Amino acid sequence: MPHSNDLGLRSFIEVAPNSDFPIQNLPYGVFSARDGTAPRVGVAIGDYVLDLWELGQDGRLGVSQLDVFAAPMLNPFMALGPKVWSRTRARISELLRHDNPELRDNAASRDRALVPMANVTLHLPLAVSGYTDFYSSREHATNVGVMFRGKDNALQPNWLHMPIGYNGRASTVVVSGTKVRRPRGQLKPPSAELPSFAPCKRLDFELEMGVVVGQPSPIGEMLTEKQAEEMIFGFVILNDWSARDIQQWEYVPLGPFQAKAFATSISPWIVTREALEPFRVHGPVQDPTPLPYLQQAQPNNYDLQLDVGLRAPSIRQAANICRTNFKYMYWSSVQQLMHHASSGCAMNVGDLLGSGTISGPDKHQRGSLLEISWNGTEPIELSGGVKRTFLEDGDSLVMRGWCQGDGYRVGFGEVEGTIVAAE
């Protein structure tokens, strides 16, 4: 069976060259349809969702536990393991090929299984078991360090030796399109003697990728590079909304808490690790060499383009405020997972790992408003004379990501969130 990333591979469904969802992608998500279809698992192909439960009714998929596709989350399917993931994806690809009449020429099966994207609602694609956010872009960590500690002390002594992270809140991970209420919290600007409790005034985004863990690891055991890689089901775009003024007061001595707990948005489609295979690249040279348990024998970064658009309420079109690439990350997703388990921490099906803010070496590649506006000292100008240092009520933020192939792109769709006022 040809690999689903073959350059000549195309679907019998017409897919535009700039579509995020060609046959080379086949990302998984959870959808419901206007006809009353309850939330269940589907795959994106062009402008359609392929209903895997319907497709499997006559045994076409070869998955014996077909009820995994009737679930309102991907966790049961992910629990079946990497061999089933790969086999199922290959079979879906085979059924969608332009030269395979099996589904193409079966009008009844085709009409039941293919649902126009315009007629569906997309849901959170997984039940998030646990959420951990990392801090793995050297450029981002350096920018923030320069702002608050000065150029000579930008990186903390441990940063080049291990992926730094903190445990976030799985309960407030939401799907794209969910409105984000401005958080309230304790605020204490340097000029104030005592803190007050009020809505956040310095609300920010963080452009990240999310790793979806599809296999568990036992408590008390470490992971090899190969084991960690095979546990990764796929990736989503992730917006780690951040309340900078709440964070500034609370983070000493234990780090982020309420400043990050109010919402984390992810894109609805999980792009599989297999779909991203052609876009693997080596990350930055790591100096000093990591300790043996963190060393990598293969490239574990991805040439994945990302951009961020900001739309103010008075502006019809979003303005691009960031364009960067996932390949710049100093610590790879595999290293993050190896480090996470290294203490003996058990990983679960449905765990979500945020990459940390993705910034690049150039100014237009900064992945947060904290960096873009340099902590509020350099406002950005949108159209119509609108300026921003941090997010205001009514602002909408859109993140997109894709890997560019030869005549096709493997994309993630988008993750969007609009800020609403605090109650």
Concatenating the DSSP letter of every residue in 205-260 gives -BEEEEEEE-S-B-TT----HHHHHHHEEEEEEEE--EEHHHHHHH-TTT--SHHH
Residue 5 reports pLDDT greater than 80: no
pLDDT of residue 2: 34
Could you tell me which residues are beta bridge partners of residue 415?
Answer: 399
Per-residue pLDDT, averaged over 354-362, amounts to 98
C-alpha Rg value of the chain to the nearest Å: 22
pLDDT of residue 423: 85
| Of 140, 161, 282, 339, catalytic | 140
Q: Which residues of 275-299 are buried (b: 16+ CB within 10 A; e: fewer)?
A: bbebbeeebbebeeebeeebebeee
Per-residue pLDDT, averaged over 381-386, amounts to 91
Per-residue pLDDT, averaged over 62-87, amounts to 94
pLDDT of residue 145: 95
pLDDT of residue 3: 39
Residue 147 reports pLDDT greater than 60: yes
User: What is the rounded CA–CA span in Å between residue 389 and residue 155?
Assistant: 24
Residue 12 reports pLDDT greater than 90: yes
Q: What percent of the chain has pLDDT over 70?
A: 98
What would you measure as the largest C-alpha separation in the chain, in angstroms? Answer: 74
- Residue 29 near residue 38 (C-beta atoms within 8 A): no
Concatenating the DSSP letter of every residue in 141-175 gives HHHHHHHHH-GGG-S-TTTTTS--EEE--GGGEEE
Per-residue pLDDT, averaged over 297-312, amounts to 98
User: What is the rounded CA–CA span in Å between residue 234 and residue 230?
Assistant: 10
Which H or E run includes 101? helix 101-104
pLDDT tens digits for 163-195? 999 999 999 999 999 999 999 999 999 999 999
- Between 165 and 8, the higher pLDDT residue: 165
pLDDT of residue 6: 55
Q: Which residues contact 146 (CB under 8 A, 6 or more apart)?
A: 154
Tell me the domains of the chain and their CATH numbers: 28-123 (2.30.30.230), 131-420 (3.90.850.10)
Instruction: Give residue 37's pLDDT band: very low, low, confident or very high (50, 70, 90).
Output: confident
Identify whether 140 is a catalytic site residue: yes
pLDDT of residue 7: 59
pLDDT of residue 336: 98
Per-residue pLDDT, averaged over 249-276, amounts to 97
The amino acid present at 285, given as its one-letter code, is V
Per-residue pLDDT, averaged over 293-299, amounts to 98
Per-residue pLDDT, averaged over 219-248, amounts to 98
To the nearest whole number, what is the mean pLDDT of the chain?
96
Residue 224 in tokens: 């090899």
Instruction: Give residue 1's pLDDT band: very low, low, confident or very high (50, 70, 90).
Output: very low
Give the torsion sign (CA, 241, 371, 332, 235): positive
SS3 110: helix
pLDDT tens digits for 338-352? 999 999 999 999 999
Residue 24 in tokens: 């080379």
Closest CA to 231 of 135, 336, 325, 326: 336
Residue 255 reports pLDDT greater than 60: yes
pLDDT of residue 405: 96
